Structure 1
Amino acid sequence: MAFFSELAQHLEVLRDALGGDVEAEQLPLALDRLSDDGVVAALEAATGLVRAGEKVRIAASGAAAARSTREAGHTGLAQKRGHRNPASLIQEITGATRAEAAKHVRLGESLRTLAGIDPGRDAMTDASDPAVPPYEGAGAGVGVGPGPRAGVGAGGEPEPWHAPLGRALLAGAIGSAQHDAILRGLGEPPEPDPVATSGEDDGLDAVARAREAWREAWMLAAEQLIAEARERTVEELGRAARTIRDQLDPAGAQRRFDQRFEGRAFRLWRDADGVRRGSIVFDDLGGAWAQTIWDSALRPRRGGPRFVDSEEKARAEELVADPRTNDQLAYDLFLDLLCAGALADAATVFGARQAGVRIVVPADAIVQERSGAPAVALVEDDQTVLPAWLAAQHMCHTATRHVTVDGGGNPLDLGREARLYRPKQKIALAIRDGGCRWRGCDRPASYCEAHHIDEWVRDEGRTDIDRGILLCRFHHMELHHGGWRITREGLGDFVLHPPPGRGDPLVLVPRLALRLAVFDIEPPPRRFRLAG
């Protein structure tokens, strides 16, 4: 759809929802008079308008950045207006934060690359010179003229790997925050090391083929994350992008792990009033431990699963009734752990359930790790990537569970026929689902309850893995009390059915990062050593 036609369509929907033109100061009252469906329609139309306007702001930010380079000196667009850089200019005009302005510049530059605009082009001179025609390929894949074929940029050069992101942004399929989360999460593909192929007859061609394989893998990952965007929050989308990047590039994952490990730090100081303060920079495993300890201790206060055991339930109720704030409880927990050390009593320190980090290690990762090849494993709750050697090290002194899954991630060989899901079954559900499967929910597996999609009593439902699904406490209660239901045909997709009149059924898509741990995108050929 043409840009101004899109704007007009959103404006018409919004005008109809509000019943015509209204004064700005009357907007709260006009919206308050709408039905629930009217409020949602107005919100959707307003979001469409914001996204449409944001496209212009992002593209204009890219153009401003191209005209404000250091080489332009004081004649640059931003510099002539008294700003050191384009982000400062954009911040003044838009009233955005510095981080938001920098994001607009980053995305604008990405769109210019997609449009086939040469980064070295003198944008100021060309823009003011009527003799210079529009840049060839400027509409590539963006709905502005035909442009080159998909996958190929201006001049027959391959498109950048992030081209699908730019097209999805301009088409309104994703917003700028989603675009930025995927772009930053995936980062740039690794660069093959020419030294690794110097002994081959076609060494240069081999490097080019490896570079193309990485570009295609990153482009495919971007496309799959775009499809995932409707199902996930922006924060979870960014985590998924980082996890997929590390799965595709385990050697790079090891380097990033090492950098974060080297950056670990703990500092204590006194402020001007004499109050002792502290700060911690975690490495990956240390951060996972701290998070799971905090979650385990505060889960009853933060919407964790309900307890069935009477003693656990009583301790959870005591914690909910505790007059301390969550921050105060976390502080007291931290001191209790320092004092009690590894012998901390679970009932005293952790409240209802002792903490522990559960790591998912694909079978082939163990094989690769033993052969000396780079491989990765995932933390169950948030899919943080860890080196497989670290998981193997922890397997030496912790319990392990073997879970066999099919090509769709469905567990095949765990327990059946009990009223409640057993701990081993919940492990399998956590590996398959990764957390609450409700669309847009990012609650981790440790905060979820196992739901029987076939009711135990009414439908003679079985407590089988393939008939269960993880839902957080809120969505589990919403399903039972709000008229929703979940169905599944065989080992197909789980489908969420809303109450009558609330829309169409929704497929509950499994998390992409976990799907890729089992099957799907393969890393580029491992024979190419990555540059350090």
Structure 2
Amino acid sequence: MTFIDDLRSGIDRLSEFAELDVETTALLPSVCELSDNAVRAAFDTVANHSRNLQKLELALAGVIAQRSSRAAGHKGLAQTGGYRTPEQMVREITGVPKSEAVRVVRVGSSLLDAEQGAGSDDELDVDAGAAAPPAREPWHRPLRDALLNGAITQAQHDVIRRGLGEPPAVDGRDEAEIIEVWRVAARRLVAESADSTVEDLAAAARAARDLIDPVGAELRWQERHAKRSFRMRVDADGLRHGHLVFDDEDADFWQSVLDSAMRPRRGGPRFVSEDEAAAARDLLDDPRTNDQMAYDLITDVFRAGALAEAKDVFGARQAGVRLVTIKDAVGPRDAFGRLLAVAHTEDGRVSLPGSALDRALCTTGSVEVIVDACGNPLDLGRKERLFSARQRLAIAARDGGCMWPGCERPIAYSEVHHIDHWHEHHGKTDVDRGILLCRYHHLLLHNAGWKITRVGKGEFLLHRPPGTAGPPIPLRSKSPLRWLFDPPPRTGWRTAA
């Protein structure tokens, strides 16, 4: 079936809905007459049709960019149409924001690059007088294939490509081997894309890049750290404004401060002490908005400084940044004495280089969690009904946040669910029988008939409520450490650099 045939097929499926065969001015009231099942079917059809049109839009945007290069000058495709850049042409024709136009051109250019850079070593002409050999197949070719096959969207393509960056040139290492490592990483991220939000996929891509390029991780962290800034301004009404640019580590610390104080308003765990429950009720009854409370909190912290007792400011959960790394994966040191290693914040959103890990080990120490080869923490028994703080730490390192598909709730807002009920199934309070769920999804699971199972050390499976069709849904960890516990089938993939 050709591309045009796919478009015709989409239009044909939409034409089956008689409610859509009306004048444009009558479309909205007519759509409201569709049944629930018809709305779902029509929306699926529209989404598929839109994805097909986006493929063509991206291809055309790539051609526009290619034919509007700086070398083309005023004779470029965009320039001859009166546009200064390809991005301006896309923005003004489509009416999308500048950031969206930039992404369309960027992804379209990547698709053409993957297509035109294709080649294989079998095609090389060994004759000395032959033309230059074709370029080696780009590492991001799997992303192009996945987008054209409908496996990923343009947004997913963009965050994977940008997150992984470009393979570094390393003295003494075969370029083809390094490129293959990036290609394997791209394939794995494509495989995870169906169960990941765009934001989670972007974080996973950055985490994967830092794991396979720890030397580059240190340089990237230094560049981002150098951009930190704070400035204030006064507007025309005399109101003062502040603008902060965080480095990665301090941003996570500030987020931890806010999460620790605001958890009751943002869906924090229910299983807390009576004192914590009372404080949570007071916070919920507070007339201030969340933004106002966040401002007051940061101001209080700033004023109190080191003189404040942590419990007076944060309550039971003290703010802080937990870094997670694999003990045996900590490598040697570079010429400046910095660890060649990568650590991650507890939720996996931020990667930090060996120098930051080294400082944390020096100032705050570490807690060792022993796991098996697949990342499963060791069993700790059935002595207690609730999971201990140490068990929660182990589960958090494994799960990285609420494990429900598509949920972005972080570790701080998650509870540990016993997949084997304590009373009915004599379930053990073991880390391999517990899983992180946010308050909402934990309640949904118990109240709506969902169920989570696990056979041995295998993957967690989410089963739909009785009477609902569909296979079990595999639950994938949100933690970047899953890349260490379950590496791609290639020896030495982590040590590209």
Alpha-carbon distance between aligned partners in 2 of 1:389 and 1:340, rounded to the nearest angstrom: 29
- Of 395, 408, 428, 2:374 maps to 408
1:509 equivalent in alignment to 2:487: no
Relative to 1, partners in 2 of residues 1:151 and 1:189: Cα closer, same or farther, differing over 3 Å?
A: farther
- Report what 1:335 is aligned to: 299
- Residues 445/18 of structure 1: CA separation in 2 closer, same or farther (3 Å cut): farther
- Kindly tell me: are residues 18 and 466 of structure 1, through their superposed partners in 2, closer, same or farther at Cα, counting changes over 3 Å? farther
Instruction: Name the structure 2 match of 1:243.
Output: 207
Aligned counterpart in structure 1 of residue 138 of structure 2, from 152, 160, 169: 160
Distance (whole Å) between structure 2 residues aligned to residue 369 and residue 486 of structure 1 = 43
Structure 1 residue 355 displacement after superposition? 1.2
For 1:63, the equivalent position in structure 2 comes to: 63
Partner of 1:486: 452
Mark the runs of 5 or more structure 1 residues left unpaired by the alignment. 118-139, 141-147, 198-206
1:39 equivalent in structure 2? 39
1:448-477 C-alpha deviation (Å, 9 max, x unpaired)? 100011111222222111111101111111
TM-score by length of 1: 0.85
* Letter of the structure 2 residue corresponding to residue 507 of structure 1: P
Q: One-letter code of the match for 1:263?
A: K
Question: Which amino acid in 2 is paired with 1:427?
Answer: L
1:152–1:158 Cα contact (<8 Å) kept: no
Displacement after TM superposition at 1:352 (Å): 4.9
Structure-2 change in CA distance of 1:104 and 1:357 (3 Å):
same
8 Å Cα contact 2:121-2:136 kept in structure 1 = no
Relative distance call for 1:525 and 1:457 in structure 2 (3 A) is closer
Select 1:319's aligned residue among 269, 276, 283: 283
The residue correspondences of 1:341-356 to structure 2 (distance < 5 A) are 341-356=305-320
| More displaced stretch, 516-525 vs 253-262 | 516-525
| Mapped partners of 2:10, 2:158: distance in 1 | 24
- After the TM superposition, which residues 223-372 of structure 1 pair with which residues of structure 2 at under 5 Å, given as runs? 223-366=187-330, 368=332
Distance 2:331 2:87 in 1: 48
1:418 Cα offset (Å): 1.6
Rounded Cα–Cα distance in structure 2 between residues aligned with 1:175 and 1:54: 9
Structure 1 pair 513–353 and aligned structure 2 pair: CA distance change class (3 A)? closer
Q: Which residue identity is paired with 1:109?
A: S
Determine if the alignment matches structure 1 residue 418 to structure 2 residue 384. Answer: yes
Q: Deviations over 1:170-215 (max 9, x none)?
A: 111111111111111111111224xxx4xxxxxxxxx5x2x11221
TM-score (norm 2): 0.91
Q: 2:346 is matched by which residue type in structure 1?
A: E
Looking at structure 2, the residues matched to 405 and 30 of structure 1 have their Cα atoms a distance apart, in angstroms, of: 58
> Per-residue deviation at 1:286?
0.9
Q: Provide, for residues 400-427 of structure 1, a one-character-per-residue CA deviation record: whole Å limited to 9, x for no partner.
A: 3211222321112545432111111111
- With over 3 angstroms needed to count, the CA separation of the structure-2 counterparts of 1:285 and 1:422, relative to structure 1, is same
Corresponding residue number in structure 2 for 1:96: 96
Amino acid at match of 2:168: P
Native 8 Å contact 1:225 1:512 kept in 2: no
The percent identity for this pair of structures is: 47
Report the secondary structure of 1:396's partner residue.
helix
CA contact (8 A) 2:232 2:241 kept: yes
How far residue 36 of structure 1 moved from its aligned partner, in angstroms, is 3.6
Deviations 1:97-146 (A, max 9, x none): 111111111111111122226xxxxxxxxxxxxxxxxxxxxxx7xxxxxx
Equivalent of residue 186 in structure 2, options 202, 210, 222: 222
Distance 1:519 1:486, change over 3 A: closer
1:171 and 1:191 map into 2 onto residues whose CA distance is 31
Q: Which runs of 5+ in 2 are unaligned?
A: 125-131
What residue number does 1:456 align with? 422
**Equivalent in 137, 144, 151 of residue 173 of structure 1:** 151
1:398 is aligned to 2:364: yes
Q: Deviations over 1:5-63 (max 9, x none)?
A: 33233334434456562443444434434444333222221111111000000000011
Question: Contact 1:365/1:377 (CA < 8 Å) preserved in 2?
Answer: no
- 1:5-24 aligned at under 5 Å gives the runs 5-16=5-16, 21-24=21-24
Q: Which amino acid aligns with 2:483?
A: L
Matches of 1:35 and 1:450, distance apart in 2: 39
Write the letter of the residue equivalent to 2:341. A
Contact 1:292 1:356 in 2 (8 A): yes
1:365 CA drift (Å): 3.4
2:129 corresponds to: none
* Structure 2: distance between partners of 1:219 and 1:524: 11
CA change 1:76–1:434 in 2 (3 A) is same
Q: Is the 8 A contact 1:496 1:506 kept in 2?
A: yes
| Partners of 2:259 and 2:157 in 1: CA distance | 30
**Which region of structure 1 is more displaced relative to structure 2, 396-405 or 476-485?**
396-405
Q: How does 1:429-448 map to 2 (within 5 A)?
A: 429-448=395-414
- 8 Å Cα contact 1:486-1:496 kept in structure 2: yes
The question of whether the paired residues in 2 share the 8 Å contact of 1:213 and 1:524 is answered with no
Q: Write the distance in 1 (CA, Å) between the matches of 2:404 and 2:141.
A: 30
Partner Cα separation in structure 1 for residue 244 and residue 45 of structure 2: 43
Correspondence for 1:109:
109
Name the residue aligned to 1:182: 160
Relative to structure 1, the CA distance from residue 512 to residue 149 in structure 2 (aligned partners, 3 Å threshold; closer, same or farther) is: farther
- Greater alpha carbon shift after TM alignment, 417-426 vs 405-414: 405-414
Looking at structure 2, the residues matched to 151 and 15 of structure 1 have their Cα atoms a distance apart, in angstroms, of 48
Which amino acid is 1:396 matched to? C
Retained in 1: the 8 A contact 2:348–2:479? Answer: no
Q: Which moved more, 1:386-395 or 1:471-480?
A: 386-395
Tell me the secondary structure at the aligned position of residue 409 of structure 1. coil
SS at match of 1:368: coil
SS of the residue aligned with 1:397?
helix
Give RMSD over aligned pairs.
2.5
Does 1:497 pair with 2:475?
A: no
| CA distance in structure 2 between the aligned counterparts of 1:222 and 1:242, rounded to whole angstroms | 11
- Aligned partners of 2:263, 2:487: CA distance in 1, in Å? 34
Q: Cα offset for 1:152?
A: 8.7
Kept in 2, the 8 Å contact 1:65–1:105? The answer is yes
**Alignment-mate amino acid for residue 470 of structure 1:** L
**Counterpart Cα distance in 1 of 2:448 and 2:425:** 19
Q: Helix, strand or coil for the counterpart of 2:332?
A: helix
State how far apart, in whole Å, the 2-side matches of 1:494 and 1:524 are: 26
Answer yes or no: is the 8 Å Cα contact 1:246–1:385 preserved in 2: yes
**Number of residue pairs matched by the alignment:** 485
Q: Distance in 1 between matches of 2:123 and 2:274?
A: 63
Indicate if the aligned counterparts of 1:416 and 1:465 stay in contact, CA closer than 8 A. Answer: no
1:441 offset after TM fit, Å? 1.2
Residues in 2 aligned to 1:345 and 1:288: alpha-carbon distance in whole angstroms: 21
CA distance change for structure 1 residues 353 and 14 in 2, over 3 Å: closer, same or farther?
farther
